[in-house]
Amino acid sequence: MDFPENFLWGTATAAYQVEGAVNEGGRGASIWDTFSHTPGKVRHGDTGDIACDQYHRLEEDLDLMSELGILAYRFSVAWPRIQPEGSGSANQNGLDFYRRLVDGLRQRSIEPMLTLYHWDLPQALEDVGGWTNRDTSERFAEYAAIVHEALSDSVGFWITLNEPWVSAWMGYGLGVHAPGHQDSARALAATHHLLLSHGLAMERMRSAGDANQLGVTLNLHPARPSRDREADREAARRVDGQANRLYLDPLFHGDYPEDVFSYYGERGVDLTFVQDRDLDRISVPIDFLGINYYFRNTVRDAPEEQGQSIPFADLGARSVIPHEAEKTAMGWPVEPDGLTEILVRIKEDYEDLPMYVTENGRAVHDYIDPEGDVDDEERVSYLDAHFRAAHQAIAQGVDLRGYMVWSFLDNFEWAEGYSKRFGIVFVEYGAQRRVPKSSARWYSDVIRRNGLE
Ligand code: FCB
């Protein structure tokens, strides 16, 4: 099973999850520093203070990537390293760190794929409303322009936002992520300002006139009814509206989904945050779409759950785990065919544009065995099945150009702290020893062959 020529096989991480060194190089505080240091928010009270210490172990990590034959590295820039207070002039020390990272990748012929925002909003901006404040979109565009100017000569792939649904709904709607608010109205305003920030940043970067590829990454989950009932079909449509169409429609069609807006409008949510021309700016053409795929939403109508702090409770819906599904250490169902489905849907319902899987992978209860190995068979079979699902989409005409496995290293898994391991490389925290798992060796072979047997 061969993949297209020049298929970009890579791995991904995000700044707060791997860097550590939160008080070094002039870095300011982010909402994740505040949140993780708030008792009760993250499992075991874990924080990203040290994480994988990649800030100090850059060379070692880059060498390991190179040994494994990885062709691309998707990483994110920590906004508070560049603008410690979220605005104003650039902190040169912060830019220097990413210059070292990018040059180190280039020297090893690894393609850098840079994400500008992977959830670490400067705390100073949250103090004045964060993503519920329209001004944050302007601040983001300014930040994007600074990073772009500093690194556009060496970075070919630019992703404005990682998973705006998660930033908005987990952060401002459910409160299980930073900054921890529980209010659907705020989540909707945050959604709009995130999308607007993407559009404004695109404008700024595009005006530089280089040949770099600019895009955005969405977490997309196909939604289907859990039972053959009208109520479940309607619930699945509501979930699809909030999780997928609320992002895809404005980006590709320049419009918000009518059903989602009227649902919240009827419940008294003030939707006046959308101003003239915003949608034109949000729907500015992108060169590629990044897709993070983990699982489907299998949806049941659940009016009794209104008001609870679980995803989609405000829609009177619940995403359930199908009985037959294998579950990962996160409790997420393994559903590779959902990946084919979502890729094909983008091409058919939205646009036939280049796409990259910018994240996919699974958590396993990994451990170092007495021989010193980490044998993560479950991850190998998960990735194998998802690569096949991606190949299936390519066979159906999808212009898929690359695949970034989440993650290169075990890391700080947000509200789950270090309890969940997603890496193809095991991290022994404390000693900070890296041990490539069986999946890393297997992935090296896939990359070398550019395909599966
Ligand atoms: C995604 C995030 C990523 C990681 C994976 C497991 O939602 O983008 O940082 O936590 O989930």
The dihedral region occupied by 430, where left means phi > 0, alpha psi between -120 and 50, and beta the remainder, is left
Cβ pair 152, 214 in contact under 8 A: no
Q: Ligand 1 within 6 A of 410 CB?
A: no
CA of 262 to the centre of ligand 1 (A): 30
Angstrom distance (rounded) from CA 165 to CA 223:
15
- Pocket test of ligand 1: the residue of 406, 413, 421 to mutate, having most ligand atoms within 8 Å of its CB, is 406
Q: Is 292 in the pocket of ligand 1 (CB under 6 A)?
A: yes
Across 222-339, where does the E strand assignment appear?
A: 223-225, 288-292, 297-301, 317-320
Q: Which residue in 163, 341, 378, 413 is the catalytic one? A: 163
pLDDT at residue number 63: 99
| Residue with tokens 């034959």, as numbered in its chain | 69
Do residues 89 and 142 lie in contact, with contact meaning Cβ atoms separated by under 8 Å? Answer: no
Residue to mutate (ligand 1; options 19, 360, 413, 416; most atoms within 8 A of CB) = 413
Whether the Cβ atoms of residue 299 and residue 225 lie closer than 8 Å to each other: yes
Q: Give residue for tokens 């009227």.
A: 262
Residue nearest to ligand 1 atom 4, measured at CA = 413
Token pair 């896939």 is at which residue? 446
The CB of 359 under 6 Å from ligand 1? The reply is: yes
Query: Is the shortest distance between the CB of 14 and ligand 1 below 6 Å?
Result: yes
Q: Tell me what pLDDT residue 307 has.
A: 84
User: Which residues fall within 8 angstroms of residue 255, CB to CB, at 6 or more apart?
Assistant: 249, 279
Q: Is 408 in the pocket of ligand 1 (CB under 6 A)?
A: no
Annotated active-site residue in 126, 335, 341, 359: 359
**Ligand 1 site, residue 119, Cβ cutoff 6 A:** no
Strand duo 223-225 + 317-320: pairing:
unpaired
414 in ligand 1 pocket by Cβ < 6 Å? Answer: yes
Neighbouring C-alpha atoms within 13 Å toward the C-beta of 110: 29
User: Residue 107 C-alpha to ligand 1 middle, in angstroms?
Assistant: 28
User: From the alpha carbon of 414, which atom of ligand 1 is closest?
Assistant: 10
219 touches ligand 1 (CB under 6 Å)? yes
Closest atom, ligand 1, to C-alpha of 361: 6
In ligand 1, the atom with minimum distance to the C-alpha of 166 is 7
The alpha carbon of 266 and the centre of ligand 1 are apart by a number of angstroms equal to: 32
For ligand 1, is residue 163 a contact (CB within 6 Å)? yes
pLDDT (tens, 9 = 90+) of the chain, 453 residues, equals 999 999 999 999 999 999 999 999 999 999 999 999 999 999 999 999 999 999 999 999 999 999 999 999 999 999 999 999 999 999 999 999 999 999 999 999 999 999 999 999 999 999 999 999 999 999 999 999 999 999 999 999 999 999 999 999 999 999 999 999 999 999 999 999 999 999 999 999 999 999 999 999 999 999 999 999 999 999 999 999 999 999 999 999 999 999 999 999 999 999 999 999 999 999 999 999 999 999 999 999 999 998 888 899 999 999 999 999 999 999 999 999 999 999 999 999 999 999 999 999 999 999 999 999 999 999 999 999 999 999 999 999 999 999 999 999 999 999 999 999 999 999 999 999 999 999 999 999 999 999 998
Q: Check pocket membership of 422 for ligand 1, CB cut-off 6 A.
A: yes
Domain ranges in the chain? 8-297+326-449
Give catalytic status of residue 359 as yes or no: yes
Q: Could you tell me which CATH number the domain at 8-297+326-449 has?
A: 3.20.20.80
Q: How far is the CA of 17 from the centre of ligand 1 (A)?
A: 9
What pairs with residue 17 in β-bridges? none
Local structure of 225: helix, strand or coil:
strand
DSSP 3: P
Q: For a substitution probing ligand 1, which of 17, 159, 163 has the most ligand atoms within 8 Å of its CB?
A: 163
CB 360 within 8 A of CB 405: yes
Q: How far apart are CA 200 and CA 195, in angstroms?
A: 9
Chain position carrying tokens 């169409």: 245
163 is catalytic: yes
